Amino acid sequence: MEAVAKLRNYPTSPRKMRLLADLIRGMEVEKALAVLEHNAKHPAVPLRKLVVSAISNWKQANQGGDESQLVVKTVFVDGARTLKRMRPAPQGRGYRVRKRSNHVTVIVDTK
């Protein structure tokens, strides 16, 4: 039985988060945690926490199950709200700055 964990409105661009999501998709859970722990990108920390949360959700749903067989079945990253800000530009103009955020969903399941 699969377990789901979601991260909502994390303030980094979806493109940056997808780079890490593509790394761990389909991996065994222990290997995915090791990859995320040693990755230098800043979204690796919340993504690692999210995988740990999905594991604990799976433990609650499956009392006494063997977690060594868990695999990251699905990871997907969707765009969330975008904060629109203005930055001063030359000659009295203003450039629009879009501060993006994302939603991440992780699904773990046994092999």
The pTM for the full model equals 0.91
Q: 27 phi and psi, to 5 degrees?
A: -80, 160
Instruction: Give the separation between CA 40 and CA 77, rounded to whole angstroms.
Output: 19
Give pLDDT tens digits for 35-89.
999 999 999 999 999 999 999 999 999 987 888 899 999 999 999 999 999 999 9
95 Cβ neighbours under 8 A, 6+ residues apart: 86, 87, 88, 89
Which whole-number Å values give the CA distances from 5 to 22, 40, 98, in the listed order? 17, 23, 27
